[in-house]
Amino acid sequence: MTGVLKNKPLMLVGSVPGETAEQVFLLIGPAIGDLLAGVSDGEPGYRNKWIVFNAPQVFEPNPDLEVLNKPRARPEHSVFKDVPDWVPTSWEDMWRFTVRPGVRATHFGDLPYPGFVRESWPIFQRMRKEGVIPAGARFQVSLPQPEDFTRWCTGNAHDFSIMTRAVEETLARAVKSILATVPAKELVFQWDVCWEVLANATGDCLGREPLAWKAEGDPLERFAGYIRRLSPLVPEEAVLGMHLCYGDLEHTHLIEPPDLANCVRMANEAVQHAGRRFDFVQMPVPRNRNDDAYFKPLRKLRLGEGKLYIGLVHHTDGVAGTLARVRTFRRHYDGDFGVATECGWGRRKSETIPALLQIHREVAAAL
């Protein structure tokens, strides 16, 4: 498997604006499919809300949990009338759960992600056979890490711990179910890591939302534990990687990274504890960071045979701005690399995507 991503200069973080997987494949496949590490179904439709749909689908039906807060009903004249009722419109409107008194452990039913894969994988196969998706392209599946499911909708360390343990259990089942649908040799499996990044960046607490309290234990040790227990479930024949994220609400980070030191630390932990080869890591670069100080921590990155996808492609300053960031980046990293955006595209305006695809293609040609 060494060098499986050698001629893949682009990475698709995951989400792409679209109503169906077929619509996304038609958009992505012909434009940059030959250059991508993996081709995602775009997480279409309501899935562009990333994690929130698990609140009504997985958590609310659980008898061990009590709903403390949920998105309020919206009048017909509301500016949010086209947004599903389960989507919060502010932190005050956010889903909140607590574990009922006396409950020491809980178990969740199946997560919806394997079902999404069962829907999209046959479409991917058909469109690859038709030539819309290039021959040899792999199908990309992204799953959040355990804390991404629970940190934003729990209010204390006790409830967080119980819910997160249960999520990890059902995540393990989800990985196995996905592999029962997609052969490992056809798969790019990506961990989406956000709340773990924020916990490590802040020492596990900001003293305010969205990190108003400390969880139990050291956040880096918790993250290493998830990687150690879950990543070996992905066979060596599959490509394994992760996307490190500081949030992307309205294209704004929940916390601005001062540099790449936190990402480097977490990437090194993942490589050390994965129990198998780690093929790639993606890291974000804000548009305004073209300074040496931001990239300097990359000198401590230890990916082994893995590839770094550096998330410095931005639609707003195009090819010229992206290549300027690449030049600074290359002063601090001489390993195998490709490029990506900071985060997924699902909440971007769909009319911006063709230009963004062209930027990717031109930047890839210039690397």
Q: How far apart are CA 127 and CA 111, in angstroms?
A: 26
Average pLDDT over residues 58-62: 96
Residue 252: pLDDT band with limits 50, 70, 90 = low
Q: How many C-beta neighbours within 10 Å does residue 190 have?
A: 25
Candidates 3.30.460, 2.40.160, 3.30.420, 3.20.20; correct CATH number of 21-64+111-366? Answer: 3.20.20
- Evaluate the CA torsion angle 121, 123, 129, 135 in order and state its sign: negative
Query: What is the Cα–Cα distance from 24 to 101, expressed in whole angstroms?
Result: 45
- Among candidates 9, 28, 10, which has minimal Cα distance to 18? 28
- Pairwise CA distance, residues 267 & 11, whole Å: 17
3-state secondary structure of 309: strand
Whole-prediction pTM value? 0.95
First to last CA, the chain: 23
- Tokens 């030049």 belong to 327
Model confidence at 248: pLDDT above 80? no
Cα atoms in the 13 Å half-sphere on the side-chain side of 307: 24
CA angle centred on 10, ends 43 and 111, rounded to 5°: 25
Mean pLDDT, rounded, of the chain: 93
Highest mean pLDDT among 10-24, 158-172, 339-353: 158-172
Residue 1 pLDDT grade (very low, low, confident, very high; cuts 50, 70, 90): very low
The predicted-structure confidence for 199-245, as pLDDT tens digits, reads as follows 999 999 888 877 889 999 999 999 999 999 999 999 999 999 999 99
Of 170, 171, 154, which Cα lies nearest the Cα of 99? Answer: 154
Give the tens place of pLDDT for each residue, 162-199. Answer: 999 999 999 999 999 999 999 999 999 999 999 999 99
Helices (H), 219-289: 219-230, 261-273
Indicate the domain borders of the chain. Answer: 21-64+111-366
**Whether pLDDT at 249 is above 60:** no
Amino acid at 146: P
pLDDT reported for residue 3: 73
pLDDT of residue 91: 78
CA distance 120 to 240: 19
